Amino acid sequence: MEIISHAAEQYAKVHSSPTNELLQEIHDFTLQHHAEPHMLSGPVQGKMLSLISRMIKPKRILEIGTFTGYSTLCLVEGLPSDGILHTIELRETDAATAQRFFDRSPFKNKIKLHLGDAHQILQEIDEDWELVFVDAEKTGYIKYFDTLIEKVKPGTFLIFDNVFFHGEVLNEKIKGKSGNAIAAFNDHIKNSNKIDHVMLTVRDGISIMQKK
Ligand SMILES: C[S@@+](CC[C@H](N)C(=O)[O-])C[C@H]1O[C@@H](n2cnc3c(N)ncnc32)[C@H](O)[C@@H]1O
């Protein structure tokens, strides 16, 4: 289901600042060579992530779901000089693709890419996250939220992508395990008293929250 009209998406894209050359290359490469190009954040959401990161200036960023590295290279823009971004990717091929792009970025020394299951790796990294972007398997969202909300300090910002799950959550009868998982996640965070939260109608829906 198309949630935001294609015309509105295009208008927003044309009236936003252009992306840099490396991001454009990742975008084009992913569209041409990846079997699931729709997973990419894209220019409007990517620019939003860059600007949010630049507003917060977080010393430690966590990203769950690297894919081909597009959102990583948007989020990294807000790090101060001593900042580090950790990003976690399950699939070896995607991690290798992302690393090749990271190696060409001026931010390459600020990005630490972890290969493996984020649920496991999260137990192994001990950092004071100030900004978290969750964009991995939708069936894991409640677990990611429950784990992270206990770990992070009050004031930390967390962003969860695809909270409309291609519009599936708007249907009376939701199909598929990911759609159902996202609907359950949306109810879960709506009922949480641990966060202040807004759901935005950007692209496939994005939830931004701050731990109280
Ligand atoms: C929607 S894509 C991420 C898109 C990327 N953040 C962007 O905006 O360009 C989701 C990624 O999460 C990865 N993933 C799925 N389950 C995971 C897990 N348990 N741990 C780490 N990564 C996972 C997938 O392999 C996939 O590359």
Tens-place pLDDT, residues 79-98: 999 999 999 999 999 999 99
Q: How far is the CA of 98 from the centre of ligand 1 (A)?
A: 11
Cβ count within 10 A of residue 167: 14
Q: How far is the CA of 108 from the centre of ligand 1 (A)?
A: 20
Please tell me whether residue 77 adopts helix, strand or coil conformation.
helix
Q: Which amino acid is at 89?
A: E
Q: How far is the CA of 122 from the centre of ligand 1 (A)?
A: 14
Distance CA 73, CA 98 (A): 10
Around ligand 1, the residues with Cβ closer than 6 Å are: 39-41, 64-65, 67, 70-71, 88-91, 94, 117-119, 135-137, 140
Q: Which atom of ligand 1 is nearest to the CA of 70?
A: 9
Task: Provide long-range contacts, Cβ within 8 A and 24+ apart, for 121-125.
Answer: 121/88, 122/64, 122/88, 122/147, 122/148, 122/151, 125/62, 125/86
What local confidence, expressed as pLDDT, does residue 3 receive?
78
pLDDT tens track for 22-48: 999 999 999 999 999 999 999 999 999
Distance CA 208, CA 55 (A): 14
CB-based burial label for 199 (10 Å; 0-12, 13-18, 19+): middle
Residue of minimum CA distance from atom 14 in ligand 1: 136
Find out whether 36 and 162 touch, Cβ atoms under 8 Å.
no
What local confidence, expressed as pLDDT, does residue 1 receive?
65
What local confidence, expressed as pLDDT, does residue 169 receive?
95
Domains of the chain, each with CATH number or no CATH: 6-15+42-211 (3.40.50.150)
What residues does 199 pair with on adjacent strands? Answer: 207
Q: How far is the CA of 65 from the centre of ligand 1 (A)?
A: 3
- The list of the chain residues with pLDDT below 70 reads 1
Distance CA 82, CA 17 (A): 27
Please tell me whether residue 84 adopts helix, strand or coil conformation.
strand
Q: How far is the CA of 94 from the centre of ligand 1 (A)?
A: 9
Q: Which atom of ligand 1 is nearest to the CA of 72?
A: 6
